[in-house]
Amino acid sequence: SQQGEEDPQALSIQEGENATMNCSYKTSINNLQWYRQNSGRGLVHLILIRSNEREKHSGRLRVTLDTSKKSSSLLITASRAADTASYFCATAPGDGGTSYGKLTFGQGTILTVHP
Amino acid sequence: KAGVTQTPRYLIKTRGQQVTLSCSPISGHRSVSWYQQTPGQGLQFLFEYFSETQRNKGNFPGRFSGRQFSNSRSEMNVSTLELGDSALYLCASSIQGYGETQYFGPGTRLLVL
């Protein structure tokens, strides 16, 4: 079963606009990660935010984490057509490291950026 | 460094057959995780291997199995294929498998007829 819920399920914007995607999760986490997937191919890691961090930036990406609400958001600024992809949040459980190698993924947001 | 590689990229099988998928992790990565991705269930964790040992397993039937070799390369096997096994199978490698960033291969797309 999927721990994360993402919204919106689909997002369509114009180039240059900002895109915001949200993710909620259910259990305690060690960290939360965001991945991108182009057309059913492999996932590409975007950014990792630890449970004791509230905000993180990487280039045009900004991620926030609110552990009290068990939620995270990914903001992509000045979107480009090349950003068109599916975006997934994934949580690494905060169970002391016993869930080896397991990330729990949300259902994903399909982002379409129109030129 | 070379990325994670998976072979084959595409596979067509019929019900009842078995299939073996292969994954070569990034050099130096000792943890390999496998995921199944379907439109209905999304990305689901299958299992994880580290130093030739399965340390974690998801909720999949025993028809799904795997192994890891001393060079960290991993294989997964699905026996007695069912139509519902049609999916994109992704492997990912990480250094230790302790919740750090995972690096994914391009996946193997399996179609069961």
Residues A10-36: tens digit of each pLDDT: 999 999 999 999 999 999 999 999 999
What span, in angstroms and rounded, lies between the C-alpha atoms of A45 and A66? Answer: 20
Q: What share of chain B is helix, strand, coil (3-state, %, to 5)?
A: 5, 55, 45
- Cα A61 to chain centroid, rounded: 10
CB nearest B104 (choices: A31, A42, A101): A42
- Do the Cβ atoms of A35 and A43 come closer than 8 Å? yes
Quick check: A43 and B42 CB within 8 A?
A: no
Helices (H) and strands (E) in chain B, counts: 0, 11
Nearest residue of chain A to residue B30 (CA atoms): A101
Query: Is B42 within 8 Å of chain A by CB?
Result: yes
Tokens of A112: 């379409």
Task: Determine the residue among B6, B7, B24, B102 to mutate to test chain A binding: the one whose Cβ has the most chain A Cβ atoms within 10 Å.
Answer: B102
pLDDT in tens, chain B (113 residues): 789 999 999 999 999 999 999 999 999 999 999 999 999 999 999 999 999 999 999 999 999 999 999 999 999 999 999 999 999 999 999 998 888 999 999 999 999 99
Query: Is B97 within 8 Å of chain A by CB?
Result: yes
Task: Determine the residue among B48, B101, B108, B109 to mutate to test chain A binding: the one whose Cβ has the most chain A Cβ atoms within 10 Å.
Answer: B101
